[in-house]
Structure 1
Amino acid sequence: MDPRTPSTATAVIAVDGPSGSGKSSVSRGVARELGLRYLDTGAMYRAITWAVLRDGVPASDPAAVASAACSASLEWSTDPDESWIRVDGVDVSRAIREQSVTSAVSAVAAVPEVRALLVDLQRGAVRSALAVEQGIVVEGRDIGAVVLPDADLKVWLVADPGVRAARRAAEDAAAGRAHVTSSESIAADLARRDAADASRAASPTTQAEDAVVVDATHLGLAEVVAAVVGLARERMGA
């Protein structure tokens, strides 16, 4: 990252944590509050997974997955109020949330070539924001530890597993997703994904040493957003 005067307007904020902890909703809220861009890196991995499945490539074949990933063209929005992502010109914003993608994304994300490709794109999105003197909130699982180790603020967002599962079930139901299942089934799936993401060889899910832990178990969305915004303003001296 280029040297710059610390300011909330140009802050680079990394929000990491396990699946279902509320990273997306919190990150969008923080970006809106501070007037920053927003990047959902999880959606990028899901989009590549969608492309892999579209091409009939087994997620268990790393070489074929890497080839499919390199052939796909991604476009995405960094507007927190207009979130979308496209693969080869096709809007897959809803499709990437289906169960087929959810079941395969950890395997696809574990392929080193996929991670290298997307990390490069993610860092490019940050450079593009800073080039026009605008900050960005980037959320994922290894942002503070790997993708943006020099981020101005790193947040590790956590919540009780049962709460995470209940929130994910509510989100799926509200979105009208056909694969909505019980909180118990979702909790098991979240545990499986957490284990897979934490044990992968390439950039495993890792809490950065200097990340601030925010526990959202007993907090509403507005309260978590306010907490992160407060941390950003304190860190930036605003």
Structure 2
Amino acid sequence: MTRETEPLTIAIDGPSGSGKSSVSKAVAGRLGIGYLDTGAMYRALTWWCVDRAIDLGDHAAVAIAAADLPLELSADPEAQRVVVAGTDVTAEIRSTAISAEVSKVATNTAVRPILQQAQRDRMAAITAETGGVVAEGRDITTVVAPDALVRLLLTASEDARLRRRSAEVHGSADEHAIAATRDQVLRRDRDDSAVSQFTVAADGVVTVDTSDLDFDESVEAVLAVVASVAGHASTDAP
């Protein structure tokens, strides 16, 4: 099987504010393939545990919840929907309350293998359905899909990442908004770096620094890597 005929699997890792979620969705849309936000799975599990009053510090109990998580994820990059046990939690899992707790779940070493396998299964299902997948997270290039056709690390300076996340969460990137966002962004990255490597590219992973790129430029930079590595071009004009 040649690269041009091999299913187009793209793994993208990166820290908070690097642009990996928005860029990954746009890349999937341009290439006409499915999308998987693996971070949403950890957030959904966090919501599920909080909703069921499961102590997030009880690693065994959270792992049991992970194994039984009744989760539905859409693969459409333009219409993301997260449903847990019939409840649409797409917006709720992005709340400050869940953001403040999700690292407790994401750093649970009993949970990670369970969700990582679920992510592999979901990637396979999306690929079978759409001909490819863009999966993004923090350990996709190294643990979940080290054999992905294209593997990238999106990175950006701390200042750029804080400005982007502040604008996303608070609608502003002024000094006050950045200060309000700083702890959440940097603490999450610090906590998660204890269980996954997403700040330095592993062997065979291409780094794309988006510090000085706007959104459209970041998308084009990733598409250029895909074209170079896999021989695929986007299906839509820029």
Is the TM-score greater than 0.5? yes
**Mapping of residues 1-238 of structure 1, within 5 Å:** 4-7=1-4, 10-132=7-129, 134-174=131-171, 182-200=177-195, 203-205=196-198, 207-238=201-232
Kept after mapping to 1: 8 A contact 2:14/2:20: yes
Taking structure 1 as reference, are residues 32 and 133 closer, same or farther at Cα in structure 2, changes over 3 Å only? closer
- The whole-number CA distance in structure 1 between the counterparts of 2:83 and 2:4 is 32
Cα distance in structure 2, aligned partners of 1:135 and 1:143: 15
Q: CA RMSD in A?
A: 1.8
Q: What secondary structure, in the 3-state scheme, does the structure 2 residue paired with 1:182 have? A: helix
Which piece of structure 1 moves more, 78-87 or 63-72? 63-72
Contact 1:27 1:139 in 2 (8 A): yes
Residues 144, 211 of structure 1: 8 Å contact kept: yes
One-letter identity of the residue aligned with 2:212: H
Q: Distance in 2 between matches of 1:208 and 1:37?
A: 24
- In the alignment of these two chains, the number of paired residues is 227
Cα deviation, residue 188, structure 1:
2.2
Counterpart of 1:16 in structure 2: which amino acid? D
CA distance in structure 2 between the partners assigned to 1:124 and 1:6 by the alignment: 22
Residues 9-18 or 25-34, more deviating:
9-18
Aligned to 1:214, what secondary structure does the other structure show? strand
Kindly state the Cα deviation for residue 233 of structure 1 after the two structures are TM-superposed.
1.0
Conserved 8 A contact 2:34-2:127: no
CA distance in 1, matches of 2:83, 2:129: 23
Q: Map Cα deviations across residues 17-69 of structure 1 (whole Å, 9 max, x no partner).
A: 11121111000111011111100001111000111111112222211211222
Cα drift, residue 158 of structure 1: 0.7
| Corresponding residue SS for 1:126 | helix
Query: Within 2, Cα distance between the matches of 1:139 and 1:208?
Result: 15
Distance 2:62 2:198 in 1: 20
1:150 Cα deviation from its structure 2 partner:
0.3
Kept after mapping to 1: 8 A contact 2:170/2:177? no
Unmatched 5+ stretches in structure 2? 233-238
The question of whether the paired residues in 2 share the 8 Å contact of 1:9 and 1:135 is answered with: no
Counterpart contact for 2:28–2:134, Cα < 8 Å: yes
1:177 aligned partner? none
CA contact (8 A) 1:8 1:232 kept: no
* Distance (Å, rounded) in 1 between the aligned partners of 2:192 and 2:135: 18
Paired residue type of 1:62: H
